[in-house]
A and B are shown apart, each in its own frame.
Chain A
Amino acid sequence: MTHPPVASNPGPKVRVVTLKIDDHDVGARETDSILEIAHANGIRIPALCYLDGLSTWGACRLCMVEIEGVSKPVSACSTTASEGMKITTNSERLKRYRRMILELLFAERNHVCSVCVSNGHCELQDLAAECGMDHVRVPYRNATYNIDSSHDLFRVDHNRCVVCTRCVRVCDEIEGAHTWDVMGRGVNCQVITDLNQPWGDSQSCTSCGKCVQVCPTGALVKKGTAAGEMEKHDDFVPYLAQMRKRQ
């Protein structure tokens, strides 16, 4: 798996830079991403594919911010800081773009929150609320996606997947199994287990459940959960990532 160029492992001679995020003057290492700096300083930037402890993917674009003097918004998770940067995190334009992204995510697959196992504990749902996405203006695609229940413990429901690849990254980078990967392009892009074989037949899966815990939506769930029952905990990821680095 190749990653966008983000230095998350600073060498000994890292420069410290000062920059401005909204109204806050902040200091940071020049290897830090804008998103990390913002979060470290208590400034909220919406994010979906980013997860502390995993490599940066930069796919969802919800974290986009504006940098003074740069005409296009950039993704905060995959852009590093530099001296004197002036960053805006929540302009009217950014709010409009974020809302549109969320509308497209809801329209692409099938999200029926009221009967979803993740109802009330879903990052996508929370982002919709946070960004004021109260209705989808584009037509729903109403395409049917697979549900694979072949694994003893877990289920994948592609109707709820946002293709953030958190499952792919945690399985590869933390568990070391690399059961998950990505197949297809554009609207046909989806995550697969092994060589697009049923998850239950997977030779590589250790049944650790990490992918389920990091999945932001109701796409990866524990079996036997009813509507609203699937709560997830991904706070173990940064800790395990640190431990892996030390080895």
Chain B
Amino acid sequence: MSEAKKITLATAWLDGCSGCHMSFLDLDQRLIELAEKVDVVYSPIVDTKALPDAVDVGILEGAVSTEEDLHKARMFRQRCQFLISLGDCAVSGNVPSMRNMFDLDDVLDRAFVENVQAQPGRPSESLPTLLRTVLPIHHVVQVDLFVQGCPPSADTIWQVLTELMAGNTPDPTQFTRFGA
């Protein structure tokens, strides 16, 4: 197959633990098979620093917790034809959203003041601004496919990708669930 016909894939890691990307790497030897049909054009696991203008499939791990996450989610939606929420944090907010039960100022003080001995104080630079409420991705942009699991297994990811490569729309509820 010529290079030009490969499906382009971009992935990003918002407010998650990277577990979903680890699961992706767990595809092991199947990554080679994947590389024959798919070109990973942007991802924490490749070197490219910028998201291309037009991508076939986008995969987002993690919830939307910061201004930066929000910006990335919007950019992915704009540039990816088909957008996938991968993992419970992306789909439901999951663990990152547990802070929603508390006021953001209390959360910041707890993390940066109350429990810190050396130079307690809220960070004022270099960190993206936290949103008051952590949201699942589809609450900020339209999402085309939801893959539950914490993290979704490599087999789940493989099944989703192979179905997509075959031109079908997979139904992940057949092989994964919340908390799987």
Contact = CB atoms under 8 A, between A and B. Distances in A.
Contacts of B173: 129, 132-134
A106 B179 contact: no
Given A113-B150, A140-B100, A142-B101, A135 B91 contact: yes
A21 interface: no
Contacts of A120: 179
Given A112-B98, A135-B136, A228-B179, 11 more contacts: A112-B95, A114-B94, A114-B179, A119-B179, A125-B177, A134-B173, A135-B91, A137-B138, A142-B100, A142-B101, A144-B102
Specify the main secondary structure of chain A where it touches its partner: loop
B148 interface: yes
Q: Which of B94, B143, B178 has the most CB of A within 10 A?
A: B178
Interface string B134-161: 0010110001001010100000000000
Interface string B157-180: 000000000000001110001110
10 contacts: A114-B94, A114-B95, A114-B179, A125-B179, A129-B173, A133-B173, A135-B92, A135-B138, A142-B97, A143-B101
Interface of B: 85, 88, 91-95, 97-98, 100-102, 133, 136, 138-139, 143, 146, 148, 150, 171-173, 177-179
Interface string A134-152: 1111011011100000000
A128 B91 CA distance: 13
A144 B172 CA distance: 31
B47 to A, nearest CB: 31
Contacts of A114: 88, 94-95, 150, 178-179
A187 to B, nearest CB: 16
B95 A115 contact: yes
A210 B61 CA distance: 40
Interface of A: 106, 110-116, 119-120, 125-126, 128-129, 132-137, 139-140, 142-144, 228
Contacts of A137: 138
Contacts of B178: 111, 113-114, 125, 128-129
A134 B179 contact: no
A110 B88 contact: no
Nearest to A141: B100
A132 B171 CA distance: 9
Contact of A140 (B85, B93, B179): B93
B23 to A, nearest CB: 13
A120 B177 CA distance: 9
A246 to B, nearest CB: 41
A134 B136 contact: no
A177 B171 CA distance: 46
Nearest to A134: B146
Given A113-B179, A120-B179, A134-B172, A140 B97 contact: yes
Contact of B101 (A110, A111, A136, A139): A110
B29 to A, nearest CB: 28
B139 A139 contact: yes
Nearest to A106: B92
A225 B95 CA distance: 19
